Every structure is written in C-alpha cells, then in structure tokens.
Structure 1
C-alpha cells in the first residue's frame, strides 16, 4: 500500500482518498452510526423505565408497611 502512494502528493493521501471513501461508504457509515445511537437511546430509555419501576415499587411497599390494614 505504501508503494502505491509513494509518488503521490500529500493531498492525495490525506484529502482525496478519505473523501472518496466517505462518498462511497457514507451511507453505510451513517446507517451504522444511526443504528448505534438508536440502540443507545433505547437502552437509556429501558434503564430509566426499570429504575422508575423499582422506585415506585419500593415507595409503595414502604408506605404499605407503615399503615395497618
């Protein structure tokens, strides 16, 4: 790979090739990043909902222990 770029100017290696890669694989990269961000958001929502459920159940159990039926 180094032999291919040996005679090329610096801007080909550091500007043109990455731009071509972004144009060719841009949709794939965007979809993978979108999937990861969506998955992290769903995990965050799951954690918040489970934490809220645990909080409500503990609050309910602690209040029911204090009152005599």
Structure 2
C-alpha cells in the first residue's frame, strides 16, 4: 500500500482519498454520531431525573420527620 501511494501527488493522498471515503461511508459515520449523541442525551436526562427524584424524596422525608410542613 505504501508503494502504491508513494508515487501519487499529495492532493490525492490528503484530499482525494478522504473525500471518496466520506462519500462512501458518510451515512454510516453520520448515523453513528447521531446514535452517540442521542445516547448521551438520554443518559443526561436520566441523571437529571434521578437527581430530582432523590432531592424531592430527601426534602419530603426530612420535613416529614421534623414535623414541620411549612418548609415544603
């Protein structure tokens, strides 16, 4: 492979081959990026919801144990 690429101009190695690869595999790369971003978003929403649930439960149980409902 190195011998094959050695005789080619620089623009073929650094522009032509990556453009061909993006044309062929572009939709695959886009779908993988979309999958990763979607998964990260779902993880972030999960962490926020669990944190809110823990906060509410701690707030309710701490005010309930003291007998003072005015804080809630």
TM category, shorter: over 0.9
Please tell me the root mean square deviation across aligned C-alpha atoms, in Å.
1.0
Please tell me whether residue 32 in structure 1 is matched to residue 32 in structure 2. Answer: yes
Between the two proteins, the alignment pairs up a number of residues equal to 68
TM-score (norm 1): 0.95
Q: Quick one: distance in 2 between partners of 1:46 and 1:7? A: 54
TM-score, with normalisation over the residues of structure 2?
0.92
Gapped runs of 5+ residues in structure 2?
A: none
Task: Structure 1 unaligned segments of length 5 or more: list them.
Answer: none
Greater RCO between the two (CA within 8 Å, min separation 6)?
2
